[in-house]
Amino acid sequence: MIRKMCVEDLDVVLKLEQQLFSSCWTYDMFYQEITSNEFAQLFVYEVEGEIIGYYGLWVLYEQAQITTIGIKPSFQGKGFSKVLMDDLIQKAIDVECEFISLEVRISNFKAIQLYKNYGFEIVNIRKNYYQDNYEDAYLMVKAIGGLS
């Protein structure tokens, strides 16, 4: 089940975040997104009552941006990331976004391949994007239609 993230989920989400990323979001960053950012939509993915994944979107008029996405390591490679991707793309379509964008480390080959499989294209490089090691990021974009 995918549902809206709430403040009570943050301890679990933060543990996942620390397992998954070297440049992690903090409690305060997630808290701000949930409670104060009118453009933010955050969701958790539960399997048998356990949070195994999550994602965040900013919906800014005709554009959606994936702000974060992650699946618990023991659940990776089993199709769960596809469930998250399908859900977030559908949410962007439902609010008539024209495209979805994201940034991804240029060394994250598995994620890049997943995004390419979903029709995302590399459109630019963000130099020194990641603060932990100044690695570059690819800006990837997928057109999804928008208003007819």
Count other C-beta atoms under 10 Å from residue 60's C-beta. Answer: 10
Is residue 148 a part of any domain in this protein? no
pLDDT in tens, 7-46: 999 999 999 999 998 888 999 999 999 999 999 999 999 9
Three-class SS state of 119:
coil
User: Could you tell me how far CA 19 lies from the centroid of its own chain?
Assistant: 15
> Under a CB-based contact definition with an 8 Å cutoff, are residues 43 and 55 in contact?
yes
Whether residue 103 lies in the annotated active site:
yes
Q: Which of 58, 147, 139, 42 is nearest to 97 (CA)?
A: 147
User: Could you tell me how far CA 114 lies from the centroid of its own chain?
Assistant: 12
CATH at 106: 3.40.630.30
Whether residue 54 lies in the annotated active site:
no
Q: What is the total count of domains within the chain?
A: 1
The model's pTM is 0.91
**If you average pLDDT over residues 39-66, what whole number do you get?**
96
User: Could you tell me how far CA 91 lies from the centroid of its own chain?
Assistant: 12
pLDDT in tens, 91-121: 999 999 999 999 999 999 989 999 999 999 9
**Residues in CB range of 76: below 8 A, 6 or more apart:** none
Residue listed under structure tokens 């007819």: 148
Is residue 9 a part of any domain in this protein? yes
Range of the domain at 55: 2-143
The CA distance from 59 to 19, in Å, is: 27
Catalytic one of 54, 55, 115, 138: 115
